[in-house]
Structure 1
């Protein structure tokens, strides 16, 4: 089925005539639309007001069609500059709302301070799914575990965010620095560690040195060593506050969980990707959205004048 695309002005027109109070733009192509629809409609007042979800794949980013965060932000800037973030109709005020992945934008000063933009707490929606879902229940479902087995698996994996952030601390710091340094190398935030033996094993100082040099040498900023030191200090502050989810992209999480539960349920290496996708979907399916929706109801309430 072909996906309809609208121009920026087209979206403003559609938002005026649709029954929904909130036209919600999401950037991801996998889980974002389902996640945010379930989240928002789980709150009765938001659900009654009406929500229309717009995927990034529906966006025509003039003059070229694209998707993702850049296209969503392009629409935000257009609506802001043309005073279309809030639309006044005969019956009510309607709002354009943009739900974005936080990624690591805070480390490069790219977070937008606007009530119409709402960021994930974790770097992306997939990481939010793991932050909010019932891991014990998901493990039992995906791996067909008995109650005793799921208890054992959960005991091994329940602290996965701390354990992965600790094991990969040096690698994650390099990855987070790669965007503000505008480096062009193999260090990227969604890539698994290249400086730990066998992925999750011991830290390899020689591998770290090689990737650090590549990061610095390909940086397109002045004094990259000093800027790296500043970013490294910011990352250290996140560790000190124990907000480990702020450091982990969602796609990195399920593989590590599968690694942790291997004493209870060993997964063949070639099946890890499929099992990871299944685990994410089951985690999404068992989130208690009612608790999460209260925060977003408060955020959306800021858009209406008091």
Structure 2
């Protein structure tokens, strides 16, 4: 008689054992390893202000990744988020030319984000179009409007107090952006993991037809998620424009890949139905540490893009390879 390893279902394992075997625990180990590697690779890495600057590498993208996680868990996706940033930033820049003050600029940034999110949501939930096709189209549409308005020019002259959103510090080396991201992460975690709305998101991602027959208003939930993605893109546009102090139509170009990579690296299934906000937050730190460490080593941006692309492919492929290996 051959010995066989006794299989214990996840629900019968202790909470500690489940946590230790979770994807989030693995990500924490990766984050620690990257942190240690960076500290040895560059003598400037452990400087408090440098570590603070490292947060700017991911906070704006991570804000959108929070909403993108909910959207992907529901079985949808929004590839237009970076273009929404460009359009919102362009709208704020145009408003500055007419003397609009900081509160007005904030409202414009949030408003443009919500309008773009509502447009995507309408096309997907009312017209019944595939979200990946819709948002590829609006990705070109929104950024194209920015190029029409600006061409190769730039908007400048933002009010001095507007700079606080992207350059201000709440306490010592802790930036306003980082605090805002932490607050938004807690809100999204509560929304997804502690409310009926979050349970509906999981149900839709696992079985949209079953969710519909169980009484969940699938179209309304998905529309709200697209609104949320647009709103978070508007918030990111405010922070990024404030940090840069200017607007160009190429702003946030290529961010879609990095945002989706954060979400998938965080353990959210690209097929929908599973994932956690904690995983996305840890993944954001991992990607921020990786890109900041490469930057300190003067690694070219194109190499960083290759690393991010390879990371995305690896994260998607590894679970399938693991299942194949286990047979």
TM-score, normalised by the number of residues in structure 2: 0.27
Q: TM-score, normalised by structure 1?
A: 0.28
Between structures 1 and 2, the one with greater helix share = 2
Higher strand share: 1
Larger relative contact order, structure 1 or 2 (CA cutoff 8 Å, min sep 6): 2
